[in-house]
Structure 1
């Protein structure tokens, strides 16, 4: 049984005249110790998915339909009190900006102690020892000294390590990392990613990495889910998706990477923008930006088809696979 199983998850934001759909029928699973990535542009629904998994959707957002099961336990039906035993303890979340996550008027140690004692009955001395051990675990130098410092006294990379240490305090089984390296320079970014990967491997922790950067994904995730306008449009092993992307949107994301352009050449980009929630296209949401769009793409959303070891929601890919299958079974073709 999967550690986390998400089936048909839909999220809406209640408005006066209509409910806006932010997630459409999202389904995926996560095994123990597995590392997956959710990839897409801003507005694709990645962070909404992360918040929905740990019941942190702010009103007017709400889960409209679907199931989220953790170790066989349905999470969408839990009361706020029941969530206290899950969020932070079993499923931890790392947010994008540590300066927003950390309280600027409390020391690092005070915030770590608060996180520990909100879930367990433990003496201050033991909680302090645990906090310093976790700071050392994420390779923070002089952890006893950092324990008594304030967030503004630490560098950006150091603050992000503190956030990871806080996430590890109660030995969670899943970490959800929402753009954990966006605010960091490239060198520090690589260090944080390697740290996350190593911690998950050493402790058997599963990871859901939310990001827009395929360069980040290639370093850490075993499987990747590509999202567009609140839907998963492609999913499969990370290396397979990077080396042989099937969906036109996935191809566009990879072609937009800086290394795909020659020196002095303009960077590639996907024409158009992510559609807003109040103006979602009919059919396949990507069709206004897709160079291969057909009339049927404008009518109905495509279902998933298997393409090798990946699954893709695209009519064009479906046609190519169908044509290949017919030729493969036609003796005259040989």
Structure 2
């Protein structure tokens, strides 16, 4: 049974002159302990989806259609008091910049104890011991010393470990990590990713990893959703998508990885740019940047279809599959 089910979710922004849609018909499930990646360029809507799940959308943004079920509970129907029992306790979120999460005028320990005692009726001393234990779990050396320090006294990687420890304080069932390693160097990035994967495996926590980097995805996620202009354009097992990308946008993201270019060569890039919220083109939103776009792509929106064990929304793939099935039919007839 799914732990989280997102059904036909739509997020709009109500402006003075018009209402703009940012997320269109988003549906997916997350199983207990599963590690799911949501991939796309800036502006694809992936972070917005994370915020929608934990009810952190800011006005004028709002959920205009669809449902988000956690167990049997529809999160879109909850009030602020009910959300206090969900956010942080059942579903926790890690943000890209640790300093957004951490209060610069409080020590690490003060912030952790405050978070624990807001949800649990335990003494300050018991909360302190729990906090130090969680700091040790995220491989922070001299945890008792770090407990007494302020965020600015820690390195970027150490601050991100503290944020992960805070997210794991109340043993959530789902952890949403929004670009958790973007600001870190490659070595620290690898350590943080390994830590996240290890914690999820050991504690049975489901992970939603939001990122633009397929190199990150390959290390940690079992399943991947690829988003473009507010829609899911491809989904499937991570290894399947990396080894055999179907959608031209997914192919472009993978070709843009640094390791795909020879030494001394310019990095590959997808021509054009992600459309802004008020400029979503008709038909397939990717068609202005797609090397395979036809007239049909400009005016019709492709529906998701199965291609192998993945699903993809692309007319080129749809036509290729139709031709393959026709040829197989002819061979069988012969």
How does the TM-score come out when normalised to structure 1? 0.99
CA contact (8 A) 1:37 1:223 kept: yes
Aligned to 2:211: 211
Question: Is 89-98 or 295-304 further displaced after alignment?
Answer: 295-304
CA contact (8 A) 1:23 1:231 kept: yes
1:312 aligns with 2:320: no
1:156-192 deviation line (CA, Å, top 9, x unaligned): 0000000000000000000000000000000000000
Offset, 1:299: 1.1
CA root-mean-square deviation: 0.9
Give the secondary-structure state (helix, strand or coil) at the position aligned to 1:292.
Answer: coil
For residues 143 and 69 of structure 2, the distance between their equivalents in structure 1, rounded to whole angstroms, comes to: 36
Where do 1:181-260 residues align within 5 Å? 181-260=181-260
Aligned to 1:293: 293
CA contact (8 A) 1:327 1:333 kept: no
Aligned to 1:8: 8
Aligned to 1:22: 22
For residues 258 and 202 of structure 1, the distance between their equivalents in structure 2, rounded to whole angstroms, comes to: 32
Aligned to 2:118: 118
CA change 1:323–1:109 in 2 (3 A) is same
1:42 aligns with 2:65: no
Aligned to 2:68: 68
Offset, 1:121: 1.3
Give the secondary-structure state (helix, strand or coil) at the position aligned to 1:118.
Answer: helix
Offset, 1:301: 1.2
Aligned to 1:163: 163
1:132-173 deviation line (CA, Å, top 9, x unaligned): 000000000010110010000000000000000000000000
For residues 157 and 218 of structure 2, the distance between their equivalents in structure 1, rounded to whole angstroms, comes to: 21
For residues 85 and 120 of structure 1, the distance between their equivalents in structure 2, rounded to whole angstroms, comes to: 11
1:73-92 deviation line (CA, Å, top 9, x unaligned): 10000000000000000000
For residues 35 and 7 of structure 2, the distance between their equivalents in structure 1, rounded to whole angstroms, comes to: 19
For residues 55 and 183 of structure 2, the distance between their equivalents in structure 1, rounded to whole angstroms, comes to: 25
Give the secondary-structure state (helix, strand or coil) at the position aligned to 1:275.
Answer: coil
For residues 263 and 246 of structure 1, the distance between their equivalents in structure 2, rounded to whole angstroms, comes to: 27
1:78 aligns with 2:78: yes
For residues 121 and 182 of structure 1, the distance between their equivalents in structure 2, rounded to whole angstroms, comes to: 36
For residues 106 and 120 of structure 2, the distance between their equivalents in structure 1, rounded to whole angstroms, comes to: 20
For residues 300 and 12 of structure 1, the distance between their equivalents in structure 2, rounded to whole angstroms, comes to: 22
Offset, 1:333: 8.3
1:182-229 deviation line (CA, Å, top 9, x unaligned): 000000000000000000000000000000000000000000000000
For residues 273 and 78 of structure 1, the distance between their equivalents in structure 2, rounded to whole angstroms, comes to: 37
Where do 1:257-276 residues align within 5 Å? 257-276=257-276
Offset, 1:332: 7.1
For residues 245 and 258 of structure 2, the distance between their equivalents in structure 1, rounded to whole angstroms, comes to: 17
CA contact (8 A) 1:9 1:26 kept: yes
Aligned to 1:146: 146
Offset, 1:31: 0.1
Give the secondary-structure state (helix, strand or coil) at the position aligned to 2:311.
Answer: strand
Give the secondary-structure state (helix, strand or coil) at the position aligned to 1:43.
Answer: coil
CA contact (8 A) 1:8 1:65 kept: yes
Unaligned runs of 5+ in 2: none
Offset, 1:330: 1.1
1:88 aligns with 2:88: yes
Offset, 1:49: 0.1
Offset, 1:331: 2.4
1:103-157 deviation line (CA, Å, top 9, x unaligned): 1000000110111111111110110010000000000001011001000000000
Offset, 1:20: 1.2
